[in-house]
């Protein structure tokens, strides 16, 4: 079964611009299954853990300030290949290097305002899901899966 999961987060600029529904729509239309969603105001400890691989890099203080600038919407999406394909749907880190048709390609300009986050590997997805959803996700059967999957 399609048990792979990824952590997708609409960043504060995406929330402020009213892009939450647009981003959800793209993942739903593709056929991925939403198994957790919440809006929250992150704190510095959470965002530092989330971006721990970037601690010490020149842009690190800027990302922390960016993510703390307003509420985010965190989601867990499930499906076959959802981690890698989620990254395709997001586009590149730099929106100006992202293809039209991707979220960052369609809605962003600067890397420091790139609208959305998506896990870059199955391992980081599992780490990020635990971090952002310590309460767990919702397990449910979706009849649609019998139509979407071969
Ligand atoms: P990703 O989000 O595409 O996986 P990462 O390299 O993990 O990219 O960087 C995390 C976030 O930090 C990016 O999404 C972006 O918002 C920000 N960022 C990365 N590189 C730069 C930069 O060179 N300038 C400004 N912000 C950056």
Q: Tell me, yes or no, whether 63 lies in a domain.
A: yes
Is the residue at 16 inside a domain? yes
In a domain, 54, yes or no: yes
Sign of the torsion formed by the C-alpha atoms of 19, 21, 27 and 30: negative
Mutate to test the pocket of ligand 1, among 50, 89, 114 (most ligand atoms within 8 A of CB): 114
Supply the residue whose CA is at minimum distance from atom 1 of ligand 1. 93
* Model confidence band, residue 89 (pLDDT cutoffs 50, 70, 90): very high
CA–CA gap between residue 114 and residue 102 (Å, rounded):
11
The residue range of the domain holding 93 is: 5-142
In-domain check, residue 148: no
Over residues 101-112, the pLDDT tens digits come to 999 999 999 999
Percent of the chain with pLDDT over 90: 99
| The total number of structural domains that make up the chain | 1
Answer whether residue 149 is part of any domain: no
| pLDDT for residue 1 | 62
Annotated active-site residue 50? The verdict is no
What is the mean predicted confidence (pLDDT) over 67-75? 98
Q: Is 93 annotated as a binding residue?
A: yes
Residue for token pair 């890099």: 57
Question: pTM of the prediction?
Answer: 0.98
The CATH number linked to 137 is: 3.30.70.141
């Amino acid at each position: 079964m399609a048990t792979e999961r990824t952590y997708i987060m609409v960043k504060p600029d995406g929330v402020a611009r009213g892009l939450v529904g647009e981003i959800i729509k793209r993942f739903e239309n593709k056929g991925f299954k939403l198994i957790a969603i919440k809006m929250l105001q992150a704190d510095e400890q959470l965002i530092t853990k989330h971006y721990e691989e970037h601690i010490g890099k020149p842009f690190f203080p800027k990302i922390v300030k960016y993510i703390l600038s307003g509420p985010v919407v965190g989601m867990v999406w499930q499906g076959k290949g959802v981690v890698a394909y989620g990254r395709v749907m997001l586009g590149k880190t730099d929106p100006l290097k992202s293809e039209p048709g991707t979220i960052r390609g369609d809605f962003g300009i600067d890397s420091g305002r790139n609208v959305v986050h998506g896990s870059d590997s199955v391992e980081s997805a599992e780490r990020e899901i635990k971090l952002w959803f310590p309460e767990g996700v919702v397990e449910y059967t979706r009849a649609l899966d019998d139509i979407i999957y071969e």
